[in-house]
Amino acid sequence: MKTVKDYIRTIVDFPHKGIMFRDVTTLFSDPRGFRMCIDQMLHPYAGEPIDKIVGLEARGFILGGAIAHQLGAGFVPIRKQGKLPGKTLSQDYKLEYGEAIVEIHDDAISAGERILIVDDLLATGGTAEAGIKLVERLGGDIVGCAFIVDLPELGGRAKLETLGMDVHALCNFEGM
């Protein structure tokens, strides 16, 4: 029986030499694999009151929309700077190989709403930490952070757990 990890391919030296890119598009393109992934990501939160799913750009949008649908929750995107219309809040963060800024609409989350943050991959935790800060600035109560892949050697899980986050990942890949 296949696991979620079995549907993920590794592309060597992408986007830079020495990087082992964990490509979830092969998981998304397989109906059984994708359904398994969504079911497993939402399982820890089934029956828990969740108001909104926050998806981190870009693959978090694919996951977040599907999970929001299954849980009967709303969906909120956190996007790269300049991609959202209307008034936004911004948060800068460090990437594995650079810096970036993400944004959320300033009216996307109301104080006290219960939020689940989702993305495909947890590496250093920079993008997720930026998302957490944005949600917290809007007064959201984060119930957890869910990912398909955790790269434990890069320390993202430890970073998020230090922030008090409940972190779930469907599989780990050792090595970068």
Q: What is the CATH number of the domain that holds 162?
A: 3.40.50.2020
For residue 132, the enclosing domain spans 47-172
| Residue 31 placed within a domain | no
CA distances from 61 to 56, 65, 83, 120 (A): 6, 6, 14, 9
pLDDT digits (tens, 9 = 90+) for 67-101: 999 999 999 999 999 999 999 999 999 876 679 99
pTM for this entry = 0.96
- Residues 6 or more apart in contact with residue 98 via CB below 8 angstroms: none
Copy the structure tokens of residue 11: 């592309």
| Residue 92 placed within a domain | yes
Return d(Cα 78, Cα 62) in angstroms, integer.
Answer: 12
| Residue 38 placed within a domain | no
Is 96 a known active-site residue?
yes
| Residue 82 placed within a domain | yes
- Among candidate residues 57, 79, 96, 114, the one labeled active-site is 96
Return d(Cα 20, Cα 13) in angstroms, integer.
Answer: 6
Residue 15 confidence (pLDDT): 87
pLDDT digits (tens, 9 = 90+) for 10-54: 999 998 899 899 999 999 999 999 999 999 999 999 999 999 999
Domain count, the chain: 1
| Residue 128 placed within a domain | yes
Overall residue count recorded for the chain in this entry: 176
Alpha carbon of residue 88 to chain centroid: 20
pLDDT band at 176 (very low <50, low <70, confident <90, very high): low
Q: What angle do CA 38, 41, 46 make, to 5 degrees?
A: 100
| Residue 112 placed within a domain | yes
Copy the structure tokens of residue 54: 């926050």
| Residue 156 placed within a domain | yes
| Residue 87 placed within a domain | yes
- Among candidate residues 59, 103, 113, 129, the one labeled active-site is 59
